[in-house]
Every structure is written in C-alpha cells, then in structure tokens.
Amino acid sequence: MDKIKIAVLISGGGTNLQALLDAQKSGALFSGEIVGVVSSSPTAYGLTRAEAASVPSAVVDRKKCATQEEFEKQLLAHLTGYGAELVILAGFLCILSASFTSRYPNRILNVHPSLIPAFCGKGFYGLKVHEAALAYGVKVTGATVHYVNEIPDGGTILYQKAVPVMEGDTPEILQQRVMREAEWILLPKAAEDVCVRLLKEKKEGAPA
C-alpha cells in the first residue's frame, strides 16, 4: 500500500517522536510512514529513539550554522533525501522562515503545549509555556496541533485537547500531564488524518 513519507524534526528528548513511532507500530498511524528524523541538536535523545526504531536520522546543528538560510538549506537537503511529503515538528525548537514553510503548504504539522492562542508564539516553548500558564493562574490548559506557516504558532488549528491544571502543579508535573493526556494522543491522530488527505489528493491527481 502507498504510504505518505513522513520526516520528523526534533531538538530534544523525542517523546512526541516516540508517540508517532508507537502509533505506527500499533497501526494507529497507518497511512504514513516515518522515513527520517532530523535533529537540530547532536545530543538530542530523540536520535536514540530513531535508531532503536531503525529509522534513518541526521543532525543539522543550528549552533554551527552561520545563518538561518544555511540551516534551512541543510534541513531541506535531508528532507529531499528522505523524499518527505509531510514534515512533523515534534519538540523542534527552531522557527522556520516563510521561504521554508511555503515549500510545504499544509504539509508541516506542529504540536504546541497550550490551547492556542494562549501562551504561544515566539519565546513560548517547552517548560516556558507551562510556567506561564501556572503564573497566569489558568485552571485549564492543553495542547494544540496546527499547520505551520511563517507565523510562530500561527497556522490553522487541526486539533485541541483540554487538560486540567491541578493544585500543587509544578511546570514539570503539568508538562508531563499535557504530554500524556493531549500531545501524545493528538499528534498521531492529526498525522494520520493529514496522510489520508494527502493520499486522496495523490490519487485524485494521478493521471487516469
């Protein structure tokens, strides 16, 4: 069966990558196949997860690239090499330019650990999001999966799931709950939905 080729971009532990790999193994992610992982950091544990799943991986070290253009050129080279048709940002901490995102219109997905438009945009990533949510005193937070465009966290929303904030939560405890109850559920579901759409478009666009 034809499957959509997925490349996953990571920067750290790769827990969302693991959720995608697990979904692929269980059949929940059926219409797509993870064909490559690219990390912006050479020390990202997500690279170990990719290796354990026998998925090819590469590193484009953001710190060693003099410019955004150079960084994205190297990224694109790997994505092209993998034949990626869908790009998923799974804890990828680098903002992508308009020239990059325009190459994959409605083909780049991101999971963000809040209910957008709350606690999102430039500077809101990782624990910073949960610190902000607790400081503001919200009673409900969650996660959002959205398409990526040139505006940080500004693309069309696909899925959101609310997660309660509990008394005594620390940013770390809240982060774990949001991942477990929202991110790891929403991201594979959205990936499958987009792969189904892309397969349909391919089929409809194929010459008779």
> Residues 78, 112, 130, 146: which is the catalytic one?
112
Q: How many CB atoms lie within 10 A of CB 60?
A: 22
Class of domain 4-205: alpha beta
In angstroms, the CA 106 to CA 17 distance is 20
Please name the amino acid found at residue 179: M
Say which DSSP state 152 is in: T
Kindly give the confidence (pLDDT) of every residue in the chain, 208 residues in length, as a single tens digit, with 9 standing for 90 and above.
Answer: 799 999 999 999 999 999 999 999 999 999 999 999 999 999 999 999 999 999 999 999 999 999 999 999 999 999 999 999 999 999 998 889 999 999 999 999 999 999 999 999 888 888 999 999 999 999 999 999 999 998 888 899 999 999 999 999 999 999 999 999 999 999 999 999 999 999 999 888 866 5
* Cα within 13 Å of Cα(170), Cβ side: 2
pTM for the whole thing? 0.94
For residue 50, give every residue at least 6 positions away whose Cβ sits within 8 Å of its Cβ, in sequence order, or none. Answer: 14, 17, 37, 56, 57
**Considering only CA atoms, which of 89, 66, 12, 74 is closest in space to residue 43?**
12
Residue spans per domain, the chain: 4-205
112 labelled catalytic: yes
Distances (CA, A) of 140 to 29, 61, 98, 134: 28, 36, 32, 10
Please name the amino acid found at residue 183: E
What local confidence, expressed as pLDDT, does residue 53 receive? 97
